[in-house]
Structure 1
Amino acid sequence: MRAWIFHGPGDVRLEEVPIAHPGPGEIKLAIKAAATCGTDLKTYRRGHPTIPVTPSRFGHEPAGIVTEVGEGVTTFREGDRVVCANTVPCGVCFYCSIDRESLCPNLEFLYGAFADELIVPAAITRRNTYHIPDHLSFAAVAPLEPLATVVHGIDQSGIRLGDTVVVNGAGPIGQMHTRLATARGAHVICVDKRAWRLDQAAAAGAVETINIDGIDDVDAIAQRVKAATPDHRGADVAIEAVGLAEVWEQTWKVLRPGGIAIMFGGTPANAMMSLNTSVMHYQEIEIKGIFHHTPRYVRMAVDMLDSGIVDGQALITELRPLEDLIISLEDMAQGNGSKYALVPDLVKA
């Protein structure tokens, strides 16, 4: 079978690897769609702290058909259409005990979505794998993992009916934040440098879009965004959905007094931003970092895809054969597309 293998930054290869069989509690999937992600691009370029040992299987947004079940598995059977999350918390550590499972130091990770087949570990099979509703395509549910993290961010944002929410970034993550904030009854303003992404944000529910192409000064951007809010007072909630320190700074600067900043995008290691302590103190702004998801948020994300609250298919720019991973990552880096679904069954032209 074929699998993309991460050997280090800039070195990812499609290789032939031995066929594996599931052990007790595990299932094997024939991959029908595996979505690319901004995290995959970052990992391809600079590595990732959750991949400490190389070579390693690559990709973490799979959907497929169960082709084999291990001993003791009763929830799934051969032929089931399933999607799984990329991690599972241990359930017994301090952070799990205080309902902060995203901070679990014992998270079990799953990599290997960019392949013909995938073995899902027992713990993920048991706690974080779900049947795909018949009316949804594999590509529509493959982005489950990032949607679950966005559900986490929105849940922690405190967005209320009628709030003005600024989403900085109109990529797939920004589009999902826009959709869910709109579903909560918020007036969403989306900010980005690419017109086609802002068009997608508008389709996801953004009432206003602001193109900041050519504007590099953070204060100038913040002033322009604040001017679009009621009475120019700033956002009730502002969300960072890019992963750059300067956009983190831009995010807190567009808040009204008493506003909440959700810092969602992962920045390069040890990146720093400036923070005016007087503003934070006297204006009582809140800054929250958001990382990852929990089984509860994953379950909620599955329900949102099922009900149509989120259109997962709309996040996918194109279906491509498995061989096109590097091309797809480079297209993402150039801004030519948002997410691509790699489909092993597709034959490369």
Structure 2
Amino acid sequence: MMRRALRNEKIERMTSQMKAAVLHGKEDLRMERVAAPQAAPGELVVQVRAALTCGTDLKVYRRGYHAMMLKPPILFGHELAGVIAEVGAGVTGFREGDRVVALNSAPCDVCFFCRHGQQNLCEDLLFNNGAYAEYIRIPDRIVEKNTLHIPDGVRFEHAALTEPLACVVRGLEECAANPGDTMIVIGAGPIGLMFMHVAELAGVNVIAVVKREDQIAAAKLFGAREVVQVEAVSDIIAATRALTPEGRGADVVVEAVATPVAWEWAVDMVRKGGLVNFFGGPPSGTKVQLDTNRLHYGDITLKASFHHTPATCRTAFDLVTSGRFKCAEYITGRVGLDQVPEVFARMMTRNSRDIKTAVFPDGVPQ
């Protein structure tokens, strides 16, 4: 019965339109009727059951574009899960009615960077957008490399957490933190909280640096043993280092705010021989000033982490589907598709206490 209903939906889509959020430019997001997608050979069409808001999407909304991922006007959103509504010719391993999470990119696996184990830097990294819609087309490369079956019992909105979590998993792997190490995470937005939780699950002792008082409880919920609120102390560097063993600084510091001052704090909070991961991505052209003496004589490692790989996507998916990750606590808002522009306008105020908002094209489940 379900597959017959999906076939009827397919016939309807071939001659119909669907509702979708379209980004037209800076802070210009509109709900529109657009042509419903169809699956070419090797592709899938997925009926979106849940999509999630994301800090990257907010950054794109604020700036009006993303140099690598999209240029307006374009369908918007990239974290999703749903049900396969159409299977293109030649696709094996998937059927109509399957529950899936489709990641937002896939590497080529043939370029220089892919051959050197850096698939996140692929010269032909294929991105896909359009999660805030009733349906989304999944390109053949993503079908082949980065589409995963969702086990029964796992909610769609939880499965959709796979993409951002995969970026954080890769970031943590790049930090090479060991159980018992001390990690400072600067920032308690969605990504900062994910770093806290994944690090805590790995046995790392987490100290959180947060901006607002209302972020303290969230940081503790997701694994921070100690929390320092920026506005509650006179010297944020001294106050944070005082919480590390013998006040020497943290083994690892993760910057998840994307501001120059936070980058500078990170370097001042790490111990000699430690590592700083600049995870937050400031706008192009942003400059920072760092103490070269401290870097050199402190033997400090500076690095950055960008995006994910198929391997970290699967590690993140396992965290979600195993129940180890606090998915339910992470999703703090639930809206219908028509409310997407309103949600992004509200996110711009920075007063929202929501971590992530789940968007349900079929209507918010009761």
- Identify the TM-score tier after normalising by the shorter chain: over 0.9
Whole-Å Cα distance in 2 between the matches of residues 90 and 258 of structure 1? 36
Deviation larger for 9-18 or 87-96: 9-18
SS in 1 for 2:359: strand
CA contact (8 A) 1:140 1:311 kept: no
CA contact (8 A) 1:240 1:251 kept: yes
CA contact (8 A) 2:31 2:341 kept: no
Structure 1 residues 161-204: Cα deviation after superposition (integer angstroms, max 9, x where no partner): 11111010112111111111112211110110122322112111
Structure 1 position 19, deviation (Å)? 1.6
1:145-160 aligned at under 5 Å gives the runs: 145-160=163-178
The aligned counterpart of 1:14 is 31
Structure 1 residues 261-302: Cα deviation after superposition (integer angstroms, max 9, x where no partner): 011111112111111111000000111110000101101110
The aligned counterpart of 2:48 is 31
1:3-152 aligned at under 5 Å gives the runs: 3-46=20-63, 47-51=65-69, 53-152=71-170
CA contact (8 A) 2:252 2:270 kept: yes
Whole-Å Cα distance in 2 between the matches of residues 89 and 118 of structure 1? 19
Whole-Å Cα distance in 2 between the matches of residues 198 and 173 of structure 1? 15
SS in 1 for 2:30: strand
The aligned counterpart of 1:244 is 259
> Does residue 214 of structure 2 align to residue 199 of structure 1?
no
Q: 1:187 to 1:52 in 2, by over 3 A?
A: closer
Structure 1 residues 105-133: Cα deviation after superposition (integer angstroms, max 9, x where no partner): 20000000000100100000110000112
The aligned counterpart of 1:164 is 182
Residue type at the aligned position of 1:270: G
Whole-Å Cα distance in 2 between the matches of residues 76 and 261 of structure 1? 41
CA contact (8 A) 2:319 2:325 kept: yes
SS in 2 for 1:173: helix
- Counting aligned pairs with the same residue, the percent is 42
CA contact (8 A) 1:176 1:310 kept: no
| Structure 1 unpaired stretches of 5+ | none
Residue type at the aligned position of 1:280: L
The aligned counterpart of 1:346 is 363
The aligned counterpart of 2:271 is 256
Whole-Å Cα distance in 1 between the matches of residues 280 and 244 of structure 2? 23
Whole-Å Cα distance in 2 between the matches of residues 236 and 270 of structure 1? 29
Deviation larger for 338-347 or 70-79: 338-347
SS in 2 for 1:207: strand
CA contact (8 A) 2:161 2:320 kept: no
Give the number of aligned pairs.
345
The aligned counterpart of 2:4 is none
The aligned counterpart of 1:213 is 231
CA contact (8 A) 2:108 2:114 kept: yes
Structure 1 position 155, deviation (Å)? 0.4
> Does residue 246 of structure 2 align to residue 231 of structure 1?
yes
CA contact (8 A) 1:34 1:61 kept: yes
Q: 1:293 to 1:20 in 2, by over 3 A?
A: same
Of residues 178, 186, 202, the one that matches 2:204 is 186
CA contact (8 A) 2:45 2:85 kept: yes
Structure 1 position 303, deviation (Å)? 0.6
The aligned counterpart of 2:285 is 270
Q: 1:324 to 1:155 in 2, by over 3 A?
A: same
Q: Aligned Cα RMSD in Å?
A: 1.5
Whole-Å Cα distance in 2 between the matches of residues 116 and 345 of structure 1? 8
Structure 1 position 313, deviation (Å)? 2.6
> Does residue 309 of structure 2 align to residue 294 of structure 1?
yes
Whole-Å Cα distance in 2 between the matches of residues 320 and 116 of structure 1? 14
| Structure 2 unpaired stretches of 5+ | 1-17
CA contact (8 A) 2:334 2:364 kept: no
Structure 1 position 74, deviation (Å)? 1.5
Whole-Å Cα distance in 2 between the matches of residues 184 and 53 of structure 1? 38
Whole-Å Cα distance in 2 between the matches of residues 140 and 52 of structure 1? 25
Residue type at the aligned position of 2:193: Q
